[in-house]
Structure 1
Amino acid sequence: MSPKATHPPDTPLYPIREVSRLTGVNSVTLRAWERRYGLIRPQRTPKGHRLYAHDDIQRIEHILQWLNRGISVSQVGDLLDQPESVEVPTQSSSDWPSQRQQLQVLIETLDMARLEAFYHQSLALYPLGTSITELWQPVIEALEANWAVQPDLVQRRLLETFLRSQVGIRLHFANQATRGPLVLISAMPDDPGPLWVLMVALMASEQGYRVQLLDTPLPLEELTLAAERLHPAVVLLVSGQAESRDFIAHRLPQATQAIGVPLGVCGPVARLRADELKHSPVHVLGDDLPQAIARLRSLLRETGT
């Protein structure tokens, strides 16, 4: 754990908002890393405002490197000051599996109060991309595999309702605060619920896009009309299912020209139908949700949107 930061008087210092912009870590997470784990120790102004030096920013980037290697935040403190050659903890020693198990149990036992606390904690302690990659996406995949064998509509609908409300609140305030490109995000016809589309909307919003979310599928003809009226920079379709071969191989490619803006596909469908979409005008962004949203920027640059 690093000692209290002391720097020469002429050292440039940055407020938390600027550090958040530079590192991509939101201010809530930076405060949680400081208060709960002591991972960073910024200076304070007489009024208590945090000020970060360049080596604090480097330390934050080092934390992100460990998180991106699958290390949980509770383990990072012991690794930060180790040599670069230090051995990465094994998956068996990571607490991600226990966190995933805990989240899944909360959902399966319908413990909504603790689920809400767990949700907010996961988004406070980790960058959103890490939280989705290591926690929420694997749990949703596991739950959907279970529900395919033994359906449980109560579990599914309660989780959907919970995430609709939580994600909806974030989208509302984030859309007011950003001038980024508008992304129209919609579920595909065979997806039985909005779990995947909500995760994608959350990730897109975090990356600075304005998000118009359609969490129930629209017929492609209506989706075309929606694009004409809303003027999005890109339309993004999401599904946790394979979707029908006719929809993927024929109807979706035919709709891309009528929609008039780039059409992307992400979520498990992008992996399951990669071969059918390989030579189509549909842009396959992948099933890793943070990476899929990261690819949107290059897609918009390529298409001049």
Structure 2
Amino acid sequence: MSQKASPPGDTPRYPIREVSRLTGVNSVTLRAWERRYGLLRPHRTPKGHRLYAREDIERVERILQWLHRGVPVSQVRELLDQPDTSARPSADLDDWANQRQQLTAAIEAMDTARLDSLFNQVLALYPARVCIEKLWQPVVQELEENWGDRLGLTLQRRVLETFLRTRIGTRLYHANPQAGPRQVLVTPMPEADSPLWGLMTALLLSEQGHRVQLLDAPMSPQELNLAAERLGIDLILLASGKAEKTDLIKRQLPRLADQLEAPLALCGPVARIRAGDIGDSRIIALGDQLAEATARAGALLAELPQGRA
């Protein structure tokens, strides 16, 4: 069933930027849903600007429900008007397993052209939090379990790191000037051997509308303190996919948290693994699921005194 355009009259309407803010779906994706799949039909002004009714926003929220449950965007339209959205989609509708296989194969083959195609395609059709939760984080976790110091596997990791550093850095460059006043410093844990978790975290925070300072090389606690002061940081977020060293977790970072004016938080598997070790410190464990962790980071930023904005 196709959706009718929003009726004229006194119905409140919202520009695409506001719909993006309310739903967390960026404007590029909203336009793709409209043009490619007919999922939305906003009202158009005489100059062609899109205006969305409350019903359109509710429809976006229903689309997100199906996407989170594994339904590919190309098959959402026929499900939107079903009264019961609690039923699980059939196995043949779950496209994420297939996309994970494609992404893993491209990484293992170090096929950057294929990586580029997959990266751009999925982020054009899905919100970043869905992409990270369903695609990138599971793939990175699985690969990290197999990656070691073997030459070929180390090269795979470095190729992926360079690819994501370039693509996500470009997105931050364009997004930061339009972002809100809060600044988040995202960086790997001191002495971490990979920036992958920080890169994924930075992409999620940027989509939430935060200004992200991404420093993707590990820094010492002293350097982190200096960076927070000089850059005017509101939140420092350290990311890692492993436990990291005990002395760093139990002694160095708690000391740093006591010295900082901005909150210090951990995300990624390190936050789950080390939650018990930082319970008595000022360090905040945001969790290992990055989509949920960055949502908590956003709530934390919203609670900070306005004087820090």
What TM-score results when the alignment is normalised by the length of structure 1? 0.92
Instruction: Say whether the 8 Å CA contact 2:19–2:52 is kept in structure 1.
Output: yes
What residue in structure 1 maps to residue 127 of structure 2? 127
Task: Summarize the Cα distance change of 1:300–1:23 in structure 2 as closer, same or farther, 3 Å threshold.
Answer: closer
| Superposed displacement of residue 76, structure 1 | 1.8
Shift, 1:13, TM fit: 3.4
Distance 2:236 2:223 in 1: 13
1:8-67 deviation line (CA, Å, top 9, x unaligned):
444343332232233221111011111222211223344433332222222112112222
Which amino acid in structure 2 is aligned with residue 51 of structure 1? L
Partner of 1:265: 266
Match of 2:101 in 1: 101
AA aligned to 1:160 is E
Alpha-carbon distance between aligned partners in 2 of 1:176 and 1:13, rounded to the nearest angstrom = 26
Structure 1 unaligned spans of 5+: none
1:174 equivalenced with 2:191 (yes/no)? no
2:66 matched residue in structure 1:
66
Aligned to 2:200: 199
Query: Which residue pairs with 1:237 in the alignment?
Result: 238
CA contact (8 A) 1:190 1:241 kept: no
Q: How many residue pairs align between the two structures?
A: 305
Tell me what 1:247 maps to.
248
Equivalent position amino acid for 1:40 in 2? L
Query: What one-letter code is carried by the residue in structure 2 that aligns with 1:205?
Result: S
1:26 equivalent to 2:32? Answer no
Distance in structure 2 (CA, Å) of the matches to 1:85 and 1:168: 37
Q: Which moved more, 1:87-96 or 1:27-36?
A: 87-96
Letter in structure 1 aligned against 2:106: L
SS at match of 1:281: coil
Alignment match, 1:216: 217
Deviation at 1:101, TM superposition (A): 0.7
CA deviations on 1:229-255 (whole Å, 9 max, x unpaired) are: 222111111111210111111211111
Instruction: Tell me how far apart the structure 2 counterparts of residues 261 and 18 of structure 1 sit (CA, whole Å).
Output: 29
Aligned to 2:155: 154
Checking the alignment, whether the CA contact within 8 Å between 1:180 and 1:208 is kept in structure 2 is no
Question: In the aligned structure 2, how far is the partner of 1:85 from the partner of 1:229?
Answer: 49
Distance in 2, Cα, partners of 1:135 & 1:113: 18
| 2:50 aligned partner | 50
Partner of residue 77, structure 1: 77
Q: Which runs of 5+ in 2 are unaligned?
A: none
Other-structure match for 1:112:
112
Measure, in 1, the Cα distance between the counterparts of 2:53 and 2:212.
34
Opposite residue 50 of structure 1, the aligned amino acid is R
2:71 and 2:93 in contact (8 A); partners too: no
CA distance in 2, matches of 1:303, 1:34: 37
- Structure 1 residue 222, shift from structure 2 partner: 1.6
Shift of 1:277: 1.7
Q: Distance in 1 between matches of 2:232 and 2:4?
A: 50
Q: Distance in 2 between matches of 1:94 and 1:33?
A: 18
Counterpart for residue 13 of structure 1:
13
Q: Is the 8 A contact 1:190 1:239 kept in 2?
A: no
Residue-by-residue CA offset, 1:106-125 (whole Å, 9 max, x unaligned): 11112211211111111111
Q: Which moved more, 1:266-275 or 1:8-17?
A: 8-17
TM-score by length of structure 2 reads 0.91
Q: Secondary structure at the match of 2:286?
A: strand
Distance in 1, Cα, partners of 2:167 & 2:24 = 21
C-alpha separation between the residues in 1 aligned to 2:86 and 2:232?
Answer: 50
Contact 1:223 1:259 in 2 (8 A): no
Q: Per-residue deviation at 1:82? A: 0.7
CA contact (8 A) 1:128 1:203 kept: yes
Query: CA–CA distance in 2 between the matches of 1:28 and 1:279?
Result: 43
SS in 2 for 1:179: coil
